[in-house]
Each structure stands twice: as C-alpha cells, then as structure tokens.
Amino acid sequence: METSSARLRTPRAAGTAGIAFAVLLGAAIVLMRIAIPSADGADAAADPGDRWAVRTALEIVPFAGISFLWFMGALRAHAGEAEDRFVSTVFLGSGIVFVATLFVAAAAAGTVLQEGTDTVFGRHYAYVVLTTYAMRMAAVFVFATSTIGRRLGIFPRPLALLGYVTGLVLLVVGSGVPWSELILPAWALVVGLYIVRAGIR
C-alpha cells in the first residue's frame, strides 16, 4: 500500500517541481531581458534604473535550481529500475552540470552588480557561462529526458518530439537570438503539466 501510494505521488511531485522550475526560471529570464534587452547581453550594461530587475532575477535563480533538482530526482524515481543506465547517466550528469553552471553564472553576475564594477570581463564571463554552457547542458538534459520518457512510454510521441526540437534549438541557437532562453522553461512547463495531468488520471 505504501509503495503504491509513493508511485502515485512521484509523478505529481515531478510535475509540480517542473512547473515551479518553469515559472521561476522564466521569471528570472524575463527580468534579466528587461534589464539587458540586447541580443548580446555581454556587451550591454544594465541601466541603473533597471538593476532591481537583475537583483530580483538573481534572487530567484537559486530557487529555480532547487526546483530543477527536485524535478530531476522525481523523474528519475518515477523511471525506477526500468531506466537505461547509459541514458540515465547522461540525464543525471547534464542536469547537475546545468544547475552548477546556472549558479556560477548567477554568482558571477551578482558579484559584478554588488561590487559596482560593471566590467566587460565580468559581464562576458557571466553571459558566456549562462548562454554557452548552461543552455547547452540543458539541451543535453532535454534530449536525455525525452529519450527516457519515450522509451518507457511515459511521454507520447508529440511530447518527445517537442523535447528533441527544444534541445536542438538550445544547442544550436545559444545566445544568438534574444529571448530564446525561454524555450527551456516553456518545455519544462509543458512536461510538468502533462505529468501532473497524467499522474492524476
């Protein structure tokens, strides 16, 4: 009875954490883009009047990372012993590296903002870590999640295809297109809502 109850709770936990991650990261990205709307954020300093947006975004990022880790853990627990060890290793590794690089980028941006030394190096460092490394690790995570979901029959074919398209965009587009980062929280929101709905049914 306890095992059955845990199985019922795991999809809901994964879905809820995915939704929370999507909302928090989406809010952080929107706030950052409000402050630095240009295509190449590394070469654009935040306007002094918009620094509140950057500060708020940096405060949100740790909670987004925590929600992502919960989302990842609940998904892995839901897969259980049926998971493919190779794909699950890529899934776990890319997820952890994504969170680590997300935190490093946020910490670097926070240091530049706090010290008041809005240097080109500091902006470039934070921006490159986020858009080049974090987003590409997120792409690998999306690929692995979609593969596991499809192989285990958790995700329907359209949802798996959406994941592959999302991963491809994150991998190829990178920082070249403004607001393209929002595709990651959008994917997490769709996955989270689907899991919650499927779990309740």
Query: Measured between alpha carbons, how far is 68 from 174 in angstroms, rounded to an integer?
Result: 20
pLDDT at 79 over 60: yes
pTM over 0.85: no
Q: Which whole number is the average pLDDT over 98-108?
A: 89
Q: Which whole number is the average pLDDT over 81-88?
A: 73
Per-residue model confidence as pLDDT tens digits over 110-136: 776 665 555 566 667 777 788 788 889
Residue of 184 and 127 predicted with greater confidence: 184
Q: Which pLDDT band holds residue 24 (cuts at 50, 70, 90)? A: very high
pLDDT (0 to 100) of residue 199:
63
H-run or E-run covering 201: none
Q: Are the C-beta atoms of 137 and 171 separated by less than 8 Å?
A: no
Query: Measured between alpha carbons, how far is 135 from 173 in angstroms, rounded to an integer?
Result: 10
Query: Measured between alpha carbons, how far is 106 from 118 in angstroms, rounded to an integer?
Result: 14
* pLDDT, averaged across the chain: 80
